[in-house]
Chain A
Amino acid sequence: DARVTQTPRDKVTEMGQEVTMRCQPILGHNTVFWYRQTMMQGLELLAYFRNRAPLDDSGMPKDRFSAEMPDATLATLKIQPSEPRDSAVYFCASGVGGYEQYFGPGTRLTVT
């Protein structure tokens, strides 16, 4: 049963620290998405990649967030420096051609 995996599952950090979240998409999937979910905003798309190329990162605060896919089996989302308002659950999802996205378990980030 193929699944998207994410690490870490939980992260507590202090304001100003760097945070790196990792995602392993389902093997064979060519699109990868990063979402952020908060109680107030619901699910927001931060970035997506097709065949490892970034297609859209307009939902991401550019000054502190960056997303990369160094290879087909790894996607990363980095926040530097982190702020308390970044506290949320960050989900990675993957799919084939953008149809039917499959979500990982998420990284619950708390910035104090």
Chain B
Amino acid sequence: RKEVEQDPGPFNVPEGATVAFNCTYSNSASQSFFWYRQDCRKEPKLLMSVYSSGNEDGRFTAQLNRASQYISLLIRDSKLSDSATYLCVLSSGTYKYIFGTGTRLKVLA
């Protein structure tokens, strides 16, 4: 079983829609969680950290469910500019990041 698993998508959604991605992880000792965004032929960019209590940044909401070992990302009111690959990232307290292979999102006009 992979340490981090994501649905590769693509998720095709119309502008204005709400879309959610989940990411499951196998190591219960994982301590830090992040969502990164990667545009085509660009570097990954930190979108948001994921806190135990859940956190929101504008149209983006991230949640952590330790019992079921998954994190989620919810995007409300999708924009064309949200089209990208979303990478789930976790760390077990060392410097080592484990990246998921990403979920592709396409927001359609």
- Listed in ascending order, the chain A residues whose CB lies under 8 Å from chain B are 31, 33, 42-43, 45, 48, 50, 55-56, 91, 95, 98-106
Contacts and interface: CB of A to CB of B under 8 A. Distances in A.
B42 A105 contact: yes
B32 interface: yes
Q: Which of B42, B43, B46, B94 has the most CB of A within 10 A?
A: B43
Q: Is the interface of A mostly helix, strand, loop or mixed?
A: strand
Contact of B99 (A43, A99, A100, A105): A43
A99 B46 contact: no
A102 B87 contact: no
Contacts of B45: 103
B96 A102 contact: no
Contact of A98 (B46, B95, B102): B95
B49 interface: yes
